[in-house]
Amino acid sequence: MPLDKEHLEYPYRSYGMDHAHYDWSMLSQRPAITWPNGSKLAVWVNVCLQFFPLNQQGKPFAVPGGMTMPYPDLRHFTLRDYGNRVGIYRFLKAFDRYGINPTFAFNTQLAERAPYLLQRILERGDEILCHGWNMDSLHYGGMERDAEAELIERSLSRLRELSGREVSGWISPARNESEHTPELLAANSVRYFCDWVNDDMPYPFRTANGDLVAMPLSTELEDRFVLMNNLHSEQSWLEQVCDACDFLLQEAQQQGGRILALNIHPWMLGQPHRIGKLEQALEYISGRDGVWSASASDILAAWQQQTR
């Protein structure tokens, strides 16, 4: 029996994308961007601060880094908790040592559970953005719209309340979304989100409630992906970061400002045997000419100033 005829029909086969979320645009053909003080490469170090519930439901899937053993999976619960107790403080020292201006993505429930950590970050004056409720509260296709609306509103309003900050950025847990996520974010005064990995620069993303900006946060270079998914060595992660830094600096000489986005997790790179590689990466990056270490919002503001 042949396939239904829809399999040989191509309703979106025309110029541009096969959806209306954003316009088709090649990075190399866009006007050059200049970063403050003539910098070539904006470095966005994004730290995910996460809470993985012990009673994980895994709906519709178990997140990478989540529980894998029968309940109670104490090994993974505590190993993730390690990052928020120990690893993060190694990160903070490293950032200060190399003059890095980091951005922190909080699961709101972690901000609630660890007020000391939240206060510590707030006192530093670093940007925080919302990383959803927790690592087991996923946004996914087929999710009931009202349930997601409540989840997004709760995640954002509670983090804003706890922090006293505006909180204008968003990363979905596991970088996964439903078809409604972007418009619900826009309805809750989010200005930018970081789930789509289709660019190396910001771009406007349409929603029914106004535009968001999609900020480029590479998955391919993040510590969890390289070390835990690909099982590469710590030394290889360092080499990959340095190679990316070199390449983007070089491309920026010809095409205008670029962004090196490092998404990192204290439960991963905060381990004693890995922290040195993060330090070496930061030392390498901060030692290059033309590098601007900035928060996600500062990068976004500089980009928006030139593209409005």
Partner 1 sequence: MKSDPGFYGYWPYENRPRIQWPGGARIAFWVAPNIEFYELDPPANPHRKAWPQPHPALPGYSIRDYGNRVGHMRQMEVLDRYGVRGSISLSTALCDHHPEIIELCAQRDWEFFSHGIYNTRYTYGMSPEQERDMIRDSMDSIHRHTGQHCAGYLAPALSHSELTLDLFAEVGTELAGDEAGFYTCDLFHDDQPTPIQLRSSKSFVSIPYSLEMNDTIAYVVNKIEPRRYGQMLKDNFDRLYQEGADSGTVMCIPTHNYQVSCPHRLRAFEEALEYITGHSDVWVTTGREIARHFIDNHYEQSVADISSRAGGC
Cα(281)–Cα(277) distance, integer angstroms:
6
Alpha-carbon distance of 279 to 265, in angstroms, equals 14
| Spatial distance between the Cα atoms of 149 and 155, rounded to a whole number of angstroms | 10
| Residue with Cβ nearer partner 1 (92 or 291) | 291
Q: How far is the CB of 29 from partner 1 (least distance, A)?
A: 7
List CB contacts of 51: < 8 A, sequence separation 6 or more: 80, 84, 107, 109, 110, 113, 134, 135
Q: Which is nearer to partner 1, 73 or 179 (CB)?
A: 179
Q: How far apart are CA 263 and CA 192, in angstroms?
A: 16
- Rank residues 128 and 260 by Cβ distance to partner 1 and give the closer one: 260
| 142 versus 272: smaller Cβ distance to partner 1 | 142
Instruction: Return the number of the residue (84 or 293) whose C-beta is nearest partner 1.
Output: 293
Distance CA(115)–CA(52), nearest Å, equals 17
CB closer to partner 1, 121 vs 138: 138
CB of 143 to partner 1, least distance (A): 9
Q: Exposed/middle/buried for 8, CB within 10 Å: 0-12, 13-18, 19+?
A: exposed
HSE (CB half, 13 Å, CA atoms) of 31?
A: 8
Write down the least CB distance from residue 245 to partner 1, Å: 8
Query: How far apart are CB 127 and partner 1 at their closest, in Å?
Result: 23
Q: Whole-number minimum distance, CB 18 to partner 1, in Å?
A: 5
State the nearest-atom distance from the C-beta of 217 to partner 1, in Å.
11
Query: Can you give the binding site for partner 1, defined by CB under 8 A?
Result: 1-4, 6-8, 10, 12-19, 24-29, 60-61, 140-142, 175-179, 195-200, 218-221, 229-233, 236, 239-241, 243-248, 251, 260
For residue 263, the minimal CB distance to partner 1 (Å) is: 13
Contact partners, residue 114, CB within 8 Å, separation at least 6: 84
Q: In this complex, which beta carbon is closest to partner 1, that of residue 221 or of residue 294?
A: 221
CA distance 199 to 205: 12
From residue 45, alpha-carbon distances to 103, 182, 275 in Å are 6, 23, 15
